[in-house]
């Protein structure tokens, strides 16, 4: 599959039916376009099976609830839609994007309770999110923006509006020759990258930020379970920026990122060490099992 994402062959599941890719459109006055009333999931299929698929569908519905946007499909119906999209496009290894949003309707102000909630599933082939950085170690900038307080926005939701500062921060990072950017949160603690959680290694033990102001990624949770099964100590805690120079290894986790080693954050460098390589290889084996 090639070309812009709006101009491809294939099918997209939209509101209960498979439609031609180029026909999967929305009206310019869709509420989500004006007020960010949208939630989504990013998933990967390996050998025809979507990894942690049900958990992603459950989180999509939960995100909708947090935005006061009840999604009119069950987990089972969303599951069927995802696999229908894979089959219709003849894909077994693919990225899966399920998205729900407030469409166009009787409301066109901040309130949108009269507008329908629409749902779509698109799938496409997508390689390593960070390209060669997955093997060589990504280089991260430090974002100027901060992840917000959960008192200001539902930080536990995978909501489109939360990614505005991610887009700006990644653009700024790429302009500096970096792969991504690392956020601090509103208190000044190390938080996450623009679309991935972060892990560090020091003296054979793993440290990762508490997800109290960031998304508790499904891949993050999977990696923590795997590390503990390997007998490694995992500290979920607040991490201060001045600690970055004390860590020996670092990696990012996410559905798109999978497990990507980090070689540099700002002025701090990290080795792609044994623990990083082992967990990356173990994760790859798990998702393809």
User: Which residues are designated catalytic?
Assistant: 158
Same domain? For 145 and 207 the reply is yes
- Residue 2: inside a domain, yes or no? no
> Average pLDDT, stretch 273-280?
97
- Residue 102: inside a domain, yes or no? yes
Distance CA 131, CA 120 (A): 27
What pTM does this model have? 0.95
- Residue 4: inside a domain, yes or no? no
The count of structural domains within the chain is: 2
Mean pLDDT rounded to a whole number for the chain: 96
> Average pLDDT, stretch 182-205?
98
Tokens of 275: 């623990």
Same domain? For 102 and 142 the reply is no
Give the model confidence (pLDDT) of 14-31 as tens digits.
999 999 999 999 999 999
Contact 141/178 with Cβ under 8 angstroms?
yes
Domain boundary among 124, 157, 191: 124
Domain boundary among 100, 124, 148: 124
Tokens of 131: 């390209």
Same domain? For 100 and 173 the reply is no
- Residue 6: inside a domain, yes or no? no
Structural domain harbouring 175: 133-287
Give the model confidence (pLDDT) of 125-179 as tens digits.
988 777 766 667 999 999 999 999 999 999 999 999 999 999 999 999 999 999 9
Same domain? For 87 and 140 the reply is no
Same domain? For 79 and 191 the reply is no
Same domain? For 178 and 48 the reply is no
Count of alpha carbons within 13 Å of 9, Cβ hemisphere only?
A: 5
């Amino acid at each position: 599959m090639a070309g812009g994402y709006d101009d491809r062959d294939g099918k997209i599941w939209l509101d209960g039916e498979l439609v031609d890719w180029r026909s999967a459109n929305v009206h310019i006055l869709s509420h989500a376009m004006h007020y960010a009333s949208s939630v989504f999931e990013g998933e990967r299929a390996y050998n025809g099976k979507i990894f942690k698929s049900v958990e992603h569908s459950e989180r999509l519905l939960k995100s909708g609830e947090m935005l006061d946007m009840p999604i009119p499909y069950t987990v089972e119906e969303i599951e069927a839609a995802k696999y229908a999209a894979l089959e219709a496009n003849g894909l077994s290894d693919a990225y899966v994007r399920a998205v729900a949003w407030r469409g166009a309707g009787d409301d066109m102000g901040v309130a949108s309770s009269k507008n329908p909630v629409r749902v779509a599933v698109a799938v496409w082939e997508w390689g390593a999110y960070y390209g060669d950085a997955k093997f060589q170690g990504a280089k991260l900038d430090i974002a100027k923006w901060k992840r917000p307080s959960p008192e200001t926005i539902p930080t536990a939701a995978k909501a489109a509006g939360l990614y505005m500062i991610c887009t700006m921060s990644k653009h700024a990072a790429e302009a500096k020759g970096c792969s991504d950017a690392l956020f601090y949160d509103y208190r000044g603690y190390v938080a996450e990258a623009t679309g991935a959680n972060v892990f560090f290694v020091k003296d054979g033990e793993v440290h990762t930020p508490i997800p109290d102001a960031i998304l508790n990624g499904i891949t993050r949770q999977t990696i923590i379970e795997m590390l503990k099964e390997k007998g490694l100590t995992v500290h979920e805690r607040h991490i201060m920026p001045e600690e970055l120079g004390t860590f020996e290894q670092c990696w990012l986790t996410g559905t798109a990122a999978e497990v990507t080693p980090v070689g540099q954050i700002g002025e701090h460098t990290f080795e792609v060490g044994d623990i990083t390589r082992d967990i990356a290889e173990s994760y790859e084996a798990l998702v393809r099992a």
